[in-house]
Amino acid sequence: MHCDALKEGSNNGVSELEPVVRLLRDLVAIASVNPCFDDGTGEKEIAEFVATYAQKAGLEVHRIPVDEGRENVLIGLVGQGAETVLWETHMDTVTAQGMTIPPFDPKLEDGKVFGRGACDAKASLAAMLQALVEVAKRGSPPRTIWLAAVVDEENGFRGVQKLVESGFRANYAVVGEPTELNIAIAHKGTVRGSIITRGISAHSSQPEKGINAILRMARVLLALERYDAELKMQVHPLVGSPTLVATVIQGGRGLNLVPDFCQVKVDRRTLPNEDPAVAWEDLKRFLQTQPELLEFEVEVSEPELLNWGMEIPADSVPVQRLSVACQQVGLQPQIIGVRYTSDASFLVRNGIPAMLFGPGSIEQAHTADEWVAIEQVIAAQKVLEVLAMMPNP
């Protein structure tokens, strides 16, 4: 079966009583919004649930503090061979504000589970955790498997950073993200920061006595648009072009004041092998050379977030093994790249080849009616079970 055949999902004889479906609904019912959002409750409750679920199945469980009230859960199954494989995904979600469905009431309808995080990435977490439980029932597998359920992927990537800083090592990793059961071997990186323009305040009835910082920022925004057009001249075969987006703007102090301050936040997406720090410096240099900006100072902050992209070879052993595992359960996965970023880049940069694989589509992630097809969740679990039980090479 081609992965596309599982995109929409339907009941098709798939029971909503499948353990992985029940597990997914239990996970979605637990609010785990990243604390960076106004409605953020953090991952404490879901970490407790995941740890307890694994312990009841007889799996080895370690809880690793990352921040106050926030901890990674590392779940292990020791195997017979020397190979160690990491399954990694995140427990946090984006905000539930603005959703058009109850975010934490995981309704199952038309073969889909609805709710915040159902797609990104609790479907992957459910598939990985239930697969590990099922493999454990068969005894010791041919390899050691660790499942890392981490915090803070939706903001600062502190969970995966804590994992690699601890010295954790594996032969390779599968990172759970919505790929529609395709295998993503490359993704973009990210660098984010601020640009500030300043002016002089005056009464808005006498604008000639002031200098308008918002109008100055308007020139900066037009320059950023030109810079983004230049970036699009570069094309990577798997992830497309780098991009630059102005995402948040703030300025002014009152309706009757000439604004003396304006700030814009920008998001720069980099190619897999592009250094995000260098990309930020290139942006600074571009702004410093634009003629219409030379008459006033444009302040560019230090990067507020830096995350590399990643890419591993399509013919590498981990990719080939995962492809074979997919084929054994009737899937024909495509080898793809994705435009978003993930925890995988931190693993790759620390010597652990990593690929993205999971149920759901990025088109459903973060949406107002987020959902995932349960057929894809069940298929992902089966693929991971096959992967775990493959004979050692």
Return the CATH number of the domain spanning residue range 189-307: 3.30.70.360
Rounded CA gap, 109 and 100, in Å? 15
Confidence band (pLDDT; 50, 70, 90) for 1? very low
For the chain, give the percent of residues with pLDDT over 70.
96
pLDDT in tens, 165-174: 999 999 999 9
Per-residue pLDDT for 14 more than 80?
Answer: no
pLDDT in tens, 302-351: 999 999 999 999 999 999 999 999 999 999 999 999 999 999 999 999 99
Pairing outcome for strands 243-251 and 371-373 = unpaired
pLDDT for 72 equals 98
Q: Which fold has domain 3-187+309-389?
A: Aminopeptidase (3.40.630)
Angle in degrees, CA 267, 272, 277, rounded to 5: 50
Is residue 38 left, alpha or beta, with left meaning phi > 0 and alpha meaning psi from -120 to 50?
alpha
Q: Are 266 and 257 in contact (CB under 8 A)?
A: no
Altogether, the residues listed in the chain come to a count of: 393
Confidence band (pLDDT; 50, 70, 90) for 15? low
pLDDT in tens, 96-114: 999 999 999 999 999 999 9
Confidence band (pLDDT; 50, 70, 90) for 392? confident
Q: Are 87 and 143 in contact (CB under 8 A)?
A: no
DSSP codes of every residue in 215-236: HHHHHHHHHHHHHHHHHTT--B
Quote the mean pLDDT of the chain: 95
- CB under 8 Å to 333, separation ≥6 — which residues? 3, 181, 182, 183, 322, 323, 326, 357
pLDDT in tens, 247-302: 999 999 999 999 999 999 999 999 999 999 999 999 999 999 999 999 999 999 99
Q: Where are the domains of the chain?
A: 3-187+309-389, 189-307
pLDDT in tens, 349-374: 999 999 999 999 999 999 999 999 99
Per-residue pLDDT for 132 more than 80?
Answer: yes
Rounded CA gap, 157 and 278, in Å? 20
pLDDT in tens, 200-255: 999 999 999 999 999 999 999 999 999 999 999 999 999 999 999 999 999 999 99
Per-residue pLDDT for 12 more than 90?
Answer: no
Per-residue pLDDT for 8 more than 90?
Answer: no
pLDDT for 16 equals 61
pLDDT for 10 equals 41
